[in-house]
């Protein structure tokens, strides 16, 4: 592993080892020069490949011919910011240090800074840290309306950090936290660094978009149903370790009771409902387009259903508002019944009233006649009884 360059009086040692440390002597004629070689070795756990929230362990070892110095060690991340570390163990020869929990943004070239006053040491050792993870927020919430198209995306940083191969993953969906999970697709990275996806579920209507940027996992719901809501979790696996990212899909639907055109003088109930729990800073709002403030109604905190009773036709909108920002809106057009339908309804109402009045009068007349017949029959019975009594009396005389 060593070469001597005679022209420059140099000794070149390749692939240094800790055992190469020591005192080297150069003799040239009567001249003799000594130099001391101090060797450092820095190793990082998992060969520098991590998933989010993992804690790297770094081991720094040193060797020299002279007594080993007490070192001052500092670590700087890819943004050249000093990182807080925890010294797990220390001897003069070996330093074991734990870094902080990593995030996907921590990927890059880090520096281990080594300092000593006696002997004077000022050495920097660069090392690579690759954190394979999602660039999505920890818990992302996405809103959609019934029958709309929605695309759920998970952004990996595998291309950014040039992570070639070795990890696999899958995408699962479940409607509630306690429900059974359904595997929608699984994926892996090829030797060329490209993602390969395989659709697993045949009972769930979704698509895998063909044209999309590298390192992105996507599912497309071409026509969202109300029961498509729930948690969509994308999970990575690398050497038995896991990392995941969730997207919560909340679906909104609107219904009317009664369904159909609104007649003059009639009322209708519009219902706006979302499929999942809302955060504390979110609420539902009904409002009439181009209406007044009296046509606005807001839901209370944690309410997932909002009803409004209306008597005016027109365009009504239900909004889901979070932090004063409209996330989604669902417009519902309430049609006014044609004039002839109103006349038919009015005529039917008047005709029905007259029919009821006529039936009432007929019942009254029939009741009076029946009462008269009953009274006449009663008088005749009394008369017959009177005659019978009188005849009996004459016979006795």
Radius of gyration of the chain (CA): 44
Better-scored residue on pLDDT, 12 or 195: 12
Length of the chain: 397
Residue 365 falls inside a structural domain = no
- Judged against a pLDDT cut of 70, whether residue 134 lies above it is answered with yes
> What pLDDT, on a 0 to 100 scale, did the predictor assign at position 356?
66
CA distance 118 to 71: 9
Residue 145 resides in a domain: yes
**What is the percent of the chain where pLDDT is above 90?**
49
Q: How far apart are CA 167 and CA 147, in angstroms?
A: 35
The residue out of 284, 315, 334 marking a domain boundary is 334
| Residues 381, 383, 388, 393, CA torsion sign | positive
Residue 312 tokens, joined: 């005016």
The span from the CA of 40 to the CA of 114, in Å, is: 9
Q: What is the maximum alpha-carbon separation in the chain? A: 189
Of 89-93, 144-148, 215-219, 261-265, the range with the lowest mean pLDDT is 261-265
CATH number of the domain residue 119 falls in: 2.60.40.10
- Residue 24 CB partners (closer than 8 Å, separation 6+): 11, 34, 35, 36, 37
Residue 177 lies in a domain: yes
- Of the two residues 357 and 90, the one the predictor is more confident about is 90
Beta strand 241-257 pairing with 139-145: parallel
**Sheet with 282-288, side-by-side order of all strands:** 297-298, 282-288, 314-322, 325-334
Angle at 87 between CA 86 and CA 90, to 5 degrees: 175
**Do residues 125 and 44 share a domain?**
yes
User: What average pLDDT does the segment 142-164 reach?
Assistant: 91
d(CA 225, CA 227): 5
Q: Which residue has the higher pLDDT, 111 or 6?
A: 111
How far is 217 from 134, CA to CA, in rounded Å? 10
What mean pLDDT do residues 361-389 have?
71
The mean of the pLDDT values for the chain is: 86
Give residues with Cβ within 8 angstroms of 30, minimum separation 6: none
In a domain, 84, yes or no: yes
pLDDT of 147 over the 50 cut: yes
Asked if 150 and 227 sit in the same domain, the reply is: yes
For residue 347, being part of any structural domain is answered with no
Is the backbone peptide bond immediately before 119 cis, with ω within 30 degrees of 0? yes
329 domain residue, yes or no:
yes
What is residue 175's predicted lDDT score, i.e. its pLDDT?
Answer: 84
Does 47 share its domain with 114? yes
pLDDT tens profile 243-285? 999 999 999 999 999 887 888 788 899 999 999 888 888 999 9
State the pLDDT confidence band at 347, using cuts at 50, 70 and 90: low
Mean pLDDT over 198-220 rounds to 84
pLDDT value of position 351: 59
Residue 105, domain extent = 40-131
pLDDT of residue 341: 43
Least confident of 181-185, 245-249, 393-397: 393-397
200 and 243 fall within a common domain = yes
Residue after which a domain boundary falls, among 334, 366, 391 = 334
CA distance 227 to 250: 10
Residues 210 and 174 in one domain: yes
Residues 53 and 114 in one domain: yes
Residue 200 has pLDDT above 80, yes or no: yes
The structure tokens listed for 381 are 């019975």
pTM given for the model: 0.74
336 or 222: which carries more pLDDT confidence? 222
Whether 60 is covered by a domain: the verdict is yes
Query: Distance between alpha carbon 380 and the CA centroid of its chain, in Å?
Result: 90
Answer with the residue of higher pLDDT: 145 or 3: 145
Contact 146, 224 (CB under 8 A): yes
* Number of compact structural domains in the chain: 3
Question: Position of tokens 């692939």?
Answer: 15
From the number of C-beta atoms within 10 Å of its C-beta (0-12, 13-18, 19+), residue 171 rates as buried
- Write out the chain in H/E/C secondary structure: CEEEECCCCEEEECCCCHHHCEEEEEEECCEEEEEEECEEEEEEHHHHEECCCCCCEEEEEEECCCCCCCCEEEEECCCCCECCCEEEEECCCEEEEECCCCCHHHCEEEEEEEEECCCCEEEEEEEEEEECCECCCCEEEEEEECCCCEEEEEEECCCCCCCCCCEEEEEEEECCCCCCCEEEEEEEECCCCCEEEEECCCCCCCECCCCCCCCEEEEEECCCCHHHCEEEEEEEEECCEEEEEEEEEEEEEEEEECCCCECCCCCEEEEEEECCCCCCCEEEEEEECCCCHHHCEECCCCCCEEEEEECCCEEEEEEEEECCEEEEEEEEEECECCHHHHHHHHHHHHHHHHHHHHHHHHHHHHHHHHHHHHHHHHHHHHHHHHHHHHHHHHHHC
Out of 50-64, 127-141, 328-342, least confident range:
328-342
CA–CA separation, 99 and 264 (whole Å) = 72
Structural domain ending residue among the three candidates 301, 334, 367? 334
pLDDT at 160: 85
One domain, residues 86 and 186 = no
174 and 232 fall within a common domain? yes
pLDDT for position 344: 47
pLDDT at 66 over 80: yes
Q: Are residues 263 and 213 in the same domain?
A: no
Residues 237 and 277 in one domain: no
**Residue 359, pLDDT above cutoff 50:** yes
If you average pLDDT over residues 323-327, what whole number do you get?
A: 90
Strand partners, 195: 189
Model confidence pLDDT, tens digit, residues 17-29: 999 999 999 888 8
Structure tokens of 169? 């993953």
Confidence tier at 311 by pLDDT (50, 70, 90): confident
- pLDDT for position 392: 53
């Amino acid at each position: 592993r060593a070469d001597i360059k005679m022209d420059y009086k140099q000794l070149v040692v390749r692939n240094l080892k800790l055992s190469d440390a020591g005192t080297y002597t150069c003799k040239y004629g009567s001249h003799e020069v000594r130099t001391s070689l101090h060797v450092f070795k820095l190793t990082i756990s998992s060969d520098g490949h991590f998933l989010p929230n993992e804690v790297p362990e770094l081991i720094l070892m040193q060797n020299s011919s002279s007594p080993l110095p007490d070192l001052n060690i500092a670590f700087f991340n890819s943004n050249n910011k000093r990182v807080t570390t925890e010294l797990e163990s220390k001897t003069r020869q070996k330093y074991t240090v734990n870094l902080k929990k990593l995030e996907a943004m921590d990927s890059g070239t880090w520096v281990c800074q080594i300092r000593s006053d006696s002997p004077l040491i000022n050495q920097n050792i660069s090392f690579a840290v690759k954190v394979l993870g999602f660039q999505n927020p920890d818990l992302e919430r996405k809103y959609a309306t019934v029958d709309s198209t929605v695309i759920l995306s998970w952004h990996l940083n595998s291309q950014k950090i040039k992570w070639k191969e070795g990890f696999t993953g899958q995408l699962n969906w479940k409607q509630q936290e306690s429900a059974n999970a359904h595997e929608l697709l699984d994926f892996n990275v090829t030797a060329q660094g490209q993602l390969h996806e395989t659709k697993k579920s045949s009972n769930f209507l979704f698509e895998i978009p063909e044209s999309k940027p590298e390192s992105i996992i996507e599912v497309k719901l071409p026509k969202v149903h109300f029961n498509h809501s729930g948690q969509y979790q994308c999970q990575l696996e690398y050497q038995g370790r896991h990392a995941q990212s969730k997207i919560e899909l909340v679906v909104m639907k609107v219904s009317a009771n009664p369904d159909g055109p609104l007649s003059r003088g009639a009322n209708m109930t519009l219902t706006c409902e979302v499929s999942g729990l809302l955060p504390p800073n979110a609420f539902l709002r009904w409002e009439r387009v181009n209406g007044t403030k009296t046509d606005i109604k807001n839901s209370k905190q944690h309410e997932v259903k909002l009803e409004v009773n209306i008597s005016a036709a027109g365009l009504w909108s239900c909004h889901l508002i979070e932090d004063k920002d409209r996330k989604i809106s669902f417009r519902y057009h309430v049609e006014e019944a044609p004039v002839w339908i109103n006349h038919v309804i009015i005529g039917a109402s008047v005709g029905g009233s007259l029919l009821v009045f006529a039936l009432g009068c007929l019942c009254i007349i029939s009741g009076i006649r029946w009462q008269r017949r009953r009274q006449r029959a009663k008088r005749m019975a009394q008369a017959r009884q009177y005659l019978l009594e009188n005849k009996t009396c004459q016979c006795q005389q």
